[in-house]
Amino acid sequence: MTTDTGHLAGRGAVLRHLMRLTWRTDRAMTVLLAVLMLSQTAAVALTGLSQRWLVDSVGLDAFAGLVAAVAAGAVGYALTAACGRIQANLLVDLSDRVDVKINEEVLTAIATIPTVDHLETPEHLNRLGVLRRGTRALSGSAWRLAEAGATVASVAISVWLLMDVSPLMGLLALLTLPPLWTGRRAQAVLRAARDACAEHLRLERALHKLCVDAGTSQEVRITGAGPVLDEEADRAWTASVRTVYRADLVASCWRLAGWVCFTASYLGALALVLHLVLAGSATLGDLMLVLSLGSRLRSQVRITVDSLGKVSEAGQAVKHYLWLRTYSRESARHGAPAPDTLTDGIRLEKVSFTYPGAAGPALRDIDLTLRPGTTVALVGDNGAGKSTLVNLLTGMHEPTEGSMTVDGVSSAGIAPESWRDRCSGAFQDFVAFELPVRESVAIGAPGDVTSSPDTVADALRRAGADHFVAALPDGGETQLGRVHGGVELSRGQWQRIALARAFVRRDAALMVLDEPTAALDPQAEHDLYERFTDETEGRSDGITVLVTHRFSTVHMANHIVVLDEGRIIEQGSHDTLMARRGRYWKLYTTQARGYALPDSDRTGER
């Protein structure tokens, strides 16, 4: 009960918020729409009344009354037709604009949640999918509700006029109940189906995207996986269509049942008035009124059912919107600002982490100290937990157990956006920002004064991108990316731009380089890290965390951490770990042996 009340209060708050949003979007149009809606309600009453006057005046031979009735009917009809058309057009336009604002709100909420858990949990992704598809319904929901309210008012007027014929006609108001109730049942069935389809629709979109996306379609074509993916996507689509189809069928049965009740009761009402007319206690005008208002009542109830249906559709989006707001509020952390310079560094004590919904932890009992001014390399087999550890350090995930401190302050007590401002990073799956070169690099420190042309040029140089950028048609101002008619780069060149983006924030407290040179050749990677190590040698505050599988690079790090199945199995300097002849030694010597020249080649060299 309390939950229901809270839920209703939440829905009320969302509705008020939507109304404010509509009002702020266009006040004049909001007022105009409200006036049009009221005019339509008045027009309904006027049309009904005019029909009654008309028949009564014919009976009484009252010419003036006849003219007045025709005039009132004409005004009522004109009002209904004109207002309805204008209202529909304006509503589409205003809803479109409110939709843009709601989308902005939703995307901002999704993007500003400090961690990325919600983007990796299927249940949350389904909710976000339904919400994103439902923003259009949300944007018009306040109007739909107003429309339903106005129609209910016109139903009340119709019934009041009918009661003039006979108080028994008041019972006609009850006619509206079955279609309204069954309409609600139908909507509940459709809502459940939409929720049930979310997973299938998400899968279908993801699979079809793989086939048409420029980045993935090449592999899909070469491997010939297209038809298999297409078939899988079709299966997901068919499952979704079947669910909706079944729900449509059930919903139609509910609606039909409601209208059968309505029609039966209406015919009963007509029979009653006919009986009254024959008995002389009602006029032909009354019969005309019942005929006219009765059929009008039917269209009013249909509009109300439709409007409430749209409100209910929006209600489903509201449910997920409320969840997003609550989730975003509960995840928000307003901690202290991150330290300007690190003195103690980052410490992890007994840290474990389990991905949402995962069976077991990806990291267990991690004890690690990252000292300022050092480069720490994370090594280990695929799936050992290196990227997960990087994600914890940057705040993309929070430890599920243990503690992480930055200069002695718990990471949970530091404002996430402040910590992110102190981090920079380059990744294997980098983003190719299709912007002019300078912007594509400067975006690494947005709003930062250090992103001046000189700083960008320096970052490009450190990333080894200066030579090819200088050769571009407009140098640093060259537009990148063929989608915008710019210059297309090779994957390695794109990766160097991504590295420059990481380097542009020179004062980063934490720089994570998670296999950011996978697209570079080994020599280029070696040169890059050598230059990078030389340049950062004098820096006493920043921490660099490096993930790479190339041991020629790893050995340059001050501290090396070896992970295996989510645990740290060794850590120390290159020399210490080599002397220990443990896993690091084994990995290093195996790779070194792979690069060593056979004796015959050495002889040839000499």
Ligand X SMILES: Nc1ncnc2c1ncn2[C@@H]1O[C@H](COP(=O)(O)OP(=O)(O)OP(=O)(O)O)[C@@H](O)[C@H]1O
Shortest Å, Cβ 430 to ligand X: 14
Does the footprint of ligand X cover residue 386 (CB under 6 A)? yes
Give the span between the Cα atoms of 455 and 265, in whole angstroms.
80
Per-residue binding string, ligand X, 74-113, x by CB under 6 A, is ----------------------------------------
Q: How many residues does the chain have?
A: 606
Q: Report the residue from 117, 120, 344, 434 that binds ligand X according to the rule CB under 6 A.
A: 120
User: Candidates 170-178, 384-392, 400-408, 529-537 — which segment interacts with ligand X by CB under 6 A?
Assistant: 384-392
Pairing of strands 401-406, 409-410: antiparallel
Shortest Å, Cβ 125 to ligand X: 12
| Per-residue tokens: 513 | 């380089």
CB-wise, 258 or 385, nearer to ligand X?
A: 385
Does the footprint of ligand X cover residue 380 (CB under 6 A)? yes
Does the footprint of ligand X cover residue 387 (CB under 6 A)? yes
Contact 378, 561 (CB under 8 A): yes
User: Candidates 7-15, 150-158, 175-183, 386-394 — which segment interacts with ligand X by CB under 6 A?
Assistant: 386-394
In 3D space, the residue among 324, 339, 402, 456 whose CA is nearest the CA of residue 566 turns out to be 402
Q: How many residues bind ligand X (CB under 6 A)?
A: 12
Q: Which of residues 424-443 bind ligand X (CB under 6 A)?
A: none
CB-wise, 441 or 577, nearer to ligand X?
A: 577
In 3D space, the residue among 188, 14, 212 whose CA is nearest the CA of residue 102 turns out to be 14
Other Cβ atoms closer than 10 A to 475? 14
CB-wise, 362 or 441, nearer to ligand X?
A: 362
Shortest Å, Cβ 357 to ligand X: 7
Give the span between the Cα atoms of 132 and 110, in whole angstroms.
11
The alpha carbon dihedral of 273, 279, 281, 282 has a sign of positive
Does the footprint of ligand X cover residue 388 (CB under 6 A)? yes
User: Candidates 50-58, 281-289, 385-393, 474-482 — which segment interacts with ligand X by CB under 6 A?
Assistant: 385-393
Three-state secondary structure call for residue 283: coil
User: Candidates 37-45, 47-55, 194-202, 379-387 — which segment interacts with ligand X by CB under 6 A?
Assistant: 379-387
Three-state secondary structure call for residue 506: coil
Shortest Å, Cβ 554 to ligand X: 13
From the CA atom positions of the chain, what is the Rg in Å? 35
Other Cβ atoms closer than 10 A to 592? 12
In 3D space, the residue among 357, 168, 353, 197 whose CA is nearest the CA of residue 270 turns out to be 168
Shortest Å, Cβ 524 to ligand X: 20
Give the span between the Cα atoms of 510 and 499, in whole angstroms.
14
CB-wise, 462 or 559, nearer to ligand X?
A: 559
Q: Which of residues 348-377 bind ligand X (CB under 6 A)?
A: 355, 358, 362
Count Cβ atoms within 10 A of the Cβ of residue 539 and give its class: 0-12 exposed, 13-18 middle, 19 or more buried.
middle
SS3 of 87-112: HHHHHHHHHHHHHHHHHHHHHHHHHH
| Per-residue tokens: 233 | 């996507």
Shortest Å, Cβ 445 to ligand X: 26
CB-wise, 321 or 353, nearer to ligand X?
A: 353
Residue with tokens 């970052």: 459
User: Candidates 49-57, 244-252, 383-391, 411-419 — which segment interacts with ligand X by CB under 6 A?
Assistant: 383-391
| Per-residue tokens: 175 | 């006619």
Does the footprint of ligand X cover residue 119 (CB under 6 A)? no
Count Cβ atoms within 10 A of the Cβ of residue 293 and give its class: 0-12 exposed, 13-18 middle, 19 or more buried.
buried
Shortest Å, Cβ 383 to ligand X: 4
CB-wise, 247 or 561, nearer to ligand X?
A: 561
User: Candidates 34-42, 263-271, 304-312, 382-390 — which segment interacts with ligand X by CB under 6 A?
Assistant: 382-390
CB-wise, 41 or 354, nearer to ligand X?
A: 354
Shortest Å, Cβ 91 to ligand X: 42
Shortest Å, Cβ 117 to ligand X: 9
Does the footprint of ligand X cover residue 385 (CB under 6 A)? yes
Alpha helices (H) in 113-176, listed in sequence order: 122-133, 135-165
Per-residue binding string, ligand X, 524-543, x by CB under 6 A, is --------------------
Shortest Å, Cβ 361 to ligand X: 9
CB-wise, 172 or 362, nearer to ligand X?
A: 362
Burial 180-205 (b: 16+ CB within 10 A, else e): bebbbbbbbbbbebbbbbbbbbbbbe
User: Candidates 68-76, 183-191, 378-386, 438-446 — which segment interacts with ligand X by CB under 6 A?
Assistant: 378-386
Three-state secondary structure call for residue 604: helix
Contacts to ligand X by CB under 6 A: 120, 355, 358, 362, 380, 382-388
